[in-house]
A and B are shown apart, each in its own frame.
Chain A
Amino acid sequence: MMAPEAPTSQAALKAMRERLGLDRPWPVRYGEWLLRLTQGNLGYSYFELKPVNQLLKSYLGPTLELMGLSLAASFILGLLLGTLAAVRPYSFLDNILTVFGFAGRSLPDFFLALVLIYIFALRFKVLPVSGMQTPGIWSFSDHVQHLILPMMTLTLLRVVVFMRYTRASLLEELHCDYIRTARAKGLPERTIIWKHALRNGLIPIITILGVNIPILFTGAVVTETIFQWPGLGMLYVVSVRHRDYPVVMALSLLTAVAVLLSNLIVDIGYALIDPRVRYE
């Protein structure tokens, strides 16, 4: 949990405190942190002994890759499955998907990840257990193999969210008058659903997508840790465990900025997609 405490002399401890500037009161240190932030400097990691900026840069790539791909996959899959369920509500397929959605909502990521590792990596040995690539091998296919399990974990958990909202939103649209008009004038069902209903039903789904944007920058804390995927989520856990405060502060700041920005983007996006929305 915490780094084991090595015996350190009082004098050495004091010298270290002074060197790191930890002897001054926290408001002063916070002020300095803010001042350095304005210059784009996030400080220096106590544990990795590297500038935090450099650390963030090297961990951002893997997170963007994993989260971006799984978010895209769950959005597309969720849209498809949700549409299939909404087209024939209460059919056999819809009921199956509802059960799947309910289970997906209740499954904790850590347990799903463990089960997937157990099945695919340990029992059938078709996929690697963890990491981003096998040490010494730098091939694309090896990397993809490492990507599959963490991506599967994240996609399975997120697809149910998109599926549920797509189904609800599309069902609502399909009961609208313009759909009846479209049917009355003899448009093929495919055009009605994919061109008319889905286009309007998509608006709330875009919001859900927007709300999920911040995870691109926070990563998946648990999933990345289990699969030893060197992304920002894993960095968060490691630095919290080591009490590496400059890194924790930088990551929290990054997350908060991502949340605020994506809220703004969603609001603007809303006005762009839906002409009924007007801001004062």
Chain B
Amino acid sequence: MNNILTIGRQMVAQRRRPPGLESPWRRAWGRFRRHRLGVLGLFVFATLVLLSVLAPWVTRYDPISISLRHRNMPPSTLHWLGTDELGRDMWARIVYGGRVSLSIAGASVALAGVLGVLVGAISGFAGGKVDMVLMRLTDVVMCLPSLIMSMVLLTLLGPRFTTIIIAISFPSWPPIARLVRGQLLSLKERDFVIAAKAIGVSTPRIIFRHLLPQAFSPVIVAATLNMAQAIILEGSLSFLGIGLPPPTPSWGNMLQAAQSIQVLESFPWRWVPPGVAIVLSVLSINAVGDALRDALDPHTTKWL
């Protein structure tokens, strides 16, 4: 008995890094830095986030105050990106809209990530009937295209900041749950888990302390690429008129102006900037995601 305990402790201890060895995160960062597109993406995305966070300091205009004497003005030194149909400054709306769009996308990715990891961990570790039920649940959610799923959910819940986050995260947790489940299925058969069980480590601790950290890197990559999808989803929903109601600016509902042919043809400064903001953020996040995938798990590309 004592013998088994010693072996168990040794096997758990083997997972700890001997002093002096480079940490896996440092190694991953080293690989990430070699990915030039990824570094550029990180820089562009950081700039976008920074502009949004510092919105009150990068513009002196209020994004929702109306000035009817300055309607539909082309870009000038006064209004860098012109003004919209109510005379609101476009640059101010872009940076303040970035707060809304990026925080909605970020929050829904976090929500989907937490939900996906939890469901996947339970499913993968419990196995059997629990696994069966949870996986059929993911099947049901994945039956509908994500935009349609979000659209229907959002009309049922009504468009508010929180409901949009829920509506966007709902279609994106099942893929993460499956990813985590797949990882846990193979990890839980490994010797160090048996060893941990043998020395009496509790099940939640095994899952959260020993198993999940190993499944972490593919989840991070998936979440990064999800963020790009979330920005597109928010844009699509707002563009279709079922996102955040005006006057709150978001990149998607600013683009909605382009549904009028007159705006599309004569006032390009009213729809190009929000579109470019969305494209830039999606491009940069995808670049970061690709670089992260190469840096964190060079062997797995299966889930893409």
Contact = CB atoms under 8 A, between A and B. Distances in A.
B242 interface: yes
Interface residues of A, number: 35
Contacts of B271: 114
Contacts of B255: 110-111, 114
B278 A108 contact: yes
Contacts of B282: 106-108
A102 B228 CA distance: 13
Given A106-B282, A110-B235, A237-B240, A248 B152 contact: yes
A255 interface: yes
Interface string A221-242: 1100110000000001100110
Nearest to A117: B264
A13 to B, nearest CB: 20
B145 interface: yes
A214 B239 CA distance: 23
A237 B152 contact: no
Contacts of B287: 102
Nearest to A256: B143
Nearest to A259: B143
Contact of A255 (B143, B228, B258, B264): B143
Contact of B155 (A110, A214, A243): A243
A196 interface: no
A4 B275 CA distance: 30
A122 interface: yes
Given A225-B240, A256-B143, A118 B279 contact: no
A176 interface: no
Nearest to B252: A110
Contacts of B148: 218, 221, 236, 251-252, 255
Interface in B145-199: 145, 147-148, 151-152, 155, 159
B239 A222 contact: yes
Contact of B283 (A106, A115, A221, A260): A106
Given A236-B151, A240-B152, A129 B236 contact: no
A103 interface: yes
Contacts of A218: 145, 148
Contacts of B145: 214-215, 218, 221, 255
27 contacts: A1-B159, A1-B245, A102-B286, A106-B282, A106-B286, A108-B232, A108-B236, A108-B282, A110-B236, A111-B279, A114-B264, A114-B271, A115-B275, A118-B264, A118-B265, A122-B261, A214-B145, A221-B151, A222-B147, A236-B148, A236-B151, A237-B240, A240-B155, A240-B242, A241-B155, A241-B240, A243-B155
Interface of B: 142-145, 147-148, 151-152, 155, 159, 228, 232, 235-236, 239-242, 245, 255, 258-259, 261, 264-265, 268, 271, 275, 278-279, 282-283, 286-287, 290
